[in-house]
């Protein structure tokens, strides 16, 4: 199982999916999103991601898709626990979110 130390560094976002309660997957940032997830040794996390510019995507759509937040993180077993301090998505501010962590070589899936 991964540890907090295993996540330290900067990870490039290569995919972003959401699932509905009935298990339907969707890609709100398209199939080629861009962004980074940064985990530091003080237990802080910084996330920025959005639609990829270019390929006919208007700049307004790219800017409007931007998701950013920061807070603290810890890993317990196979679970990442993020206490979001602030961000640009009102429904995420001051929440705690959990994600299953899968670390396969140099690929991190949350």
Q: State both tokens at 77.
A: 């077993």
- Give the model's confidence band at 47: pLDDT under 50 very low, under 70 low, under 90 confident, else very high: very high
Would the pLDDT of 55 be above 80? no
Would the pLDDT of 92 be above 80? yes
The CA distance from 43 to 39, in Å, is 7
pTM over 0.85? The answer is yes
| Contact residues for 11 (Cβ-Cβ < 8 A; gap 6+) | 36, 37, 38, 39, 108
Q: What is the pLDDT of residues 6-26, one digit of tens each?
A: 999 999 999 999 999 999 999
Beta strand pairing call for 79-87 and 67-76 = antiparallel
- Dihedrals φ, ψ of 33, to 5°? -70, 165
- Dihedrals φ, ψ of 74, to 5°? -150, 155
């Amino acid at each position: 199982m991964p540890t907090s130390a295993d996540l330290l560094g900067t990870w490039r976002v290569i995919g972003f999916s959401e699932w509905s309660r009935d298990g339907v997957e969707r890609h709100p940032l398209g199939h080629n999103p861009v962004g980074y997830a940064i985990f530091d040794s003080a237990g802080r996390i910084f996330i920025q991601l959005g639609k990829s510019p270019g390929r006919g995507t208007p700049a307004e759509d790219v800017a409007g898709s931007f998701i950013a937040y920061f807070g603290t993180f810890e890993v317990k077993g196979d679970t990442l626990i993020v206490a979001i301090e602030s961000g640009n998505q009102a429904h995420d501010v001051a929440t705690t979110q959990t994600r299953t962590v899968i670390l396969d070589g140099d690929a991190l899936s949350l």
